[in-house]
Structure 1
Amino acid sequence: MKLDAILWDYDGTLVNSVPKNIDITKAILSIVAPHLTGDNLPQYLLTEALYHEANHGAKNWQQLYVDYYGLTEKEMLQAGSMWAEYQERNETEVMLFDGIKDVVQEFSHYHHGICSQNSQKNIRRVLNNNDIGAPFKAIVGYDDVSSGNQKPHPFGGVKCVESILGHTDSELLMYIGDHEADAKFARNLQVALGNNAKVISVAAAYSQSEPRSWSVKPDYIARNVEDLMSIIGKYA
C-alpha cells in the first residue's frame, strides 16, 4: 500500500530551530515574566543541551513553560498568544537538518504537509528559501489552530489532510515528528480519520529525542536523517 501523503512536524524535524526558539522565548519572557530574565533566566534556556532536555521532557509546550521555565498558567497563556508574532519578527536563521532537502526531493512526487506549532508564514518562508516549498501542499501552524486544539489534539492534522487531499478518507499517511506529543498526535489523527485510515508514526530521534522512553511508541525511529529514506521507501 502506497502513501497518500507525508506529514511533518517542523521544529526539530525539518529544521534545527533551537537557537531561534531560545531567543524568541527570552524575548517573550521579558514581556510576560520579567522576573524570569537576567540572572533569574530559567536554566533550560542557558544552553541548547538543556533546552533539548526540557523540550523532550515536557509533554507539551504548556508544561514546558510552566514546569520547566517556571511561568504561572496566566503567564503561559499570554506567552502562547505571542508566539506566532514573535516567531515572524525574530530574524535568527534556522537551518534544515543535513540531508532533509534530499529526502523531500526524493519523495517530492508525494503530497507533503506540515502540522506544527510554529507560524505558517515563517515555515513557508524557510521552505521556499531552501527550494523545497513546492511539495508542501498544506501548512497548518500555531496560528491556524485554537489553543485548545493544538497537538496532540488531531484537529490540525485533519485540517492539513483536508487541505492536501480535499477529503479525509485516505488510507495511508505518515507523520514524522521529534516529540512524544507527535507520536500521540499520529495516534489521535488515525482515530479522528476513522477506520479507513492508517497513520504511520516516525520519530525523528536525530534531534536528540529519546523515543524508547516514550509511553506512546512510534512505528519507526529515524536515528539519523538518512534513515528516513528507507522508512519512507517502504511505502513508496
Structure 2
Amino acid sequence: MKLDAVLWDYDGTLVNSVPKNIDITKTILSIVAPHLTGDNLPKYLHSEELYHQANHAARNWQELYVEYYGLSDAEMIQAGSMWAEHQEKNQTQVNLFNGITKIIDRFSDIHHGICSQNSQRNIRNVLEFHGINKPFKAVVGYDDVSNGNQKPQADGGIQCLESIFGHTNSQLLMYIGDHEADTQFARNLESALGGQAKVISVAAAYSRANPSTWTVQPDHIATNVEDLSPIIEKYL
C-alpha cells in the first residue's frame, strides 16, 4: 500500500510553541484561577524545561491542567473553553522546527493534514506566514471537536480525512506527534477506520519527548526532524 496522507500534530511537532503556550496559560490562569498566579504560579510554568516535563508526563491537556497546574475540574473546563480565543489573541511568535519546511517541500505531492488541540485559525495563520500552507489540505483544531471527543479520541482524525478526501476510505496513513496521546490517537483512528486501514505512528522526539517511557509505543521515532524523511519515504 502507498501512503495516502501524512497527518500531523501541531504544537511540539511542526512548531516550537512553548513560549507562547506558557504566556497564554498564565493569562488564562489570571482569569479562571487567580489564586494560581504571582507567587503561587505553578512551577511548571516557570521555564520551558519545566513545561516540557509536565506536558510530556501528562496523558492529555486536562490532566496537565489539573494534576500539574493545580486547577479544579471546573476551572480546567473553563480554561479549555478559552484556549482558542487566547491562542488567536496572543501575539507571541512561534517558529517552525528547523528542517520542517524542507520536509514539507520534499513531500508536497502527498496530502497533508493537521489534527491538533490548537486553534484552527491560529494554525492556518502560522502555516501561511511560513509559506507551507498549500500542502495542508485540512486543519482540524480544538474548536472543531467537542470537548469530550478531543485527542486521543479519533473524531478529529475522521474530520480531517473527510475534509481532505471527502471520505474515510484511506488504507495507509501516517500520524506524527510528540506526545503519547498522539500515538494513542493513531491507534484509535486506525480502529475507527476499521477494515484494512493502517495508521503509522511516528513520535517527534526532537521536541524533548521521551517515547521510551510511553506505555503506548509508536511505530517509529524521529530523534531529529531530518529523521522524518526516510520514515515517510519508506511508505511511498
TM over 0.5: yes
Q: Which residue of 2 aligns with 1:141?
A: 141
Moved over 6 A (4+): none
* AA aligned opposite 2:146: S
Query: Aligned-pair distance for 1:165?
Result: 1.1
Q: Which residue of 2 aligns with 1:73?
A: 73
Q: Which residue of 2 aligns with 1:164?
A: 164
Q: What count of residue pairs does the alignment treat as equivalent?
A: 236
* AA aligned opposite 2:132: I
Q: Which residue of 2 aligns with 1:227?
A: 227
* SS class of match (2:225): coil
Q: Which residue of 1 aligns with 2:118?
A: 118
Q: Aligned equivalents of 1:123 and 1:159: distance in 2?
A: 16
5+ long unaligned stretches in structure 2: none
* SS class of match (1:196): coil
Q: Aligned equivalents of 1:230 and 1:130: distance in 2?
A: 23
* AA aligned opposite 1:164: I
Q: Aligned equivalents of 1:195 and 1:56: distance in 2?
A: 32
| Identity across matched positions, percent | 72
Query: Aligned-pair distance for 1:196?
Result: 2.2
Query: Aligned-pair distance for 1:169?
Result: 1.1
* AA aligned opposite 1:102: K
* AA aligned opposite 2:89: R
Query: Aligned-pair distance for 1:199?
Result: 0.1
Q: Which residue of 2 aligns with 1:178?
A: 178
Q: Which residue of 2 aligns with 1:150?
A: 150
Q: Aligned equivalents of 1:232 and 1:188: distance in 2?
A: 21
TM-score (normalizing by structure 2): 0.99
Q: Which residue of 2 aligns with 1:92?
A: 92
Q: Which residue of 1 aligns with 2:105?
A: 105
Q: Aligned equivalents of 2:221 and 2:195: distance in 1?
A: 25
Q: Aligned equivalents of 2:157 and 2:174: distance in 1?
A: 11
TM-score (normalizing by structure 1): 0.99
Q: Aligned equivalents of 1:211 and 1:144: distance in 2?
A: 28
CA contact (8 A) 1:170 1:196 kept: no
Q: Aligned equivalents of 1:55 and 1:195: distance in 2?
A: 34
CA contact (8 A) 1:169 1:196 kept: no
* AA aligned opposite 1:9: D
